[in-house]
Amino acid sequence: MNGKLIFFIILIGFLLFTPAIQAQNAKIQTVVIDAGHGGKDAGAVGKKSKEKEITLAVAKKTGEYIKKKYPDVKVIYTRTSDVFVELMERARIANRNNADVFISIHCNSVANSPKTGGVETFIMGDHRNSANLA
């Protein structure tokens, strides 16, 4: 998938999600952006790209956009270079910084299925916190 298309999809998701939070009189102060995979973990590998490279580029562009559009929002990255960060450490980064929003960017693939395509968005609401943490 084209990197610009992925960025656009992430951006649309963020823009759609932001008004829902504002409608609840909540203010987003801190956003943690997680570029999926990295270092020894390449993620999905295509003919010319690796997921870890695409997610890092999209994460950085997303962070730049948020900083420009919402200068009062603190943006924190789980990684800014090609390093491997354990899954639990990614969550700790968000928790240590009291993140209001955690955006984890991935580019999934399906082997031998050229007709498969689309977007996945997962949102964990407060009603699921205890079940997910368990």
- Sequence-distant (6+) residues with CB within 8 A of 21 are 28, 100, 101
CA distance 98 to 94: 6
- Judge contact between 31 and 83, C-beta under 8 A: no
Determine the average pLDDT of the residues in 112-119: 74
The structure's pTM equals: 0.75
Kindly report, residue by residue over 43-83, the tens digit of the pLDDT: 999 889 999 999 999 999 999 999 999 999 999 999 999 99
pLDDT of residue 123: 73
* Location of structure tokens 């928790």: 95
- Judge contact between 77 and 70, C-beta under 8 A: no
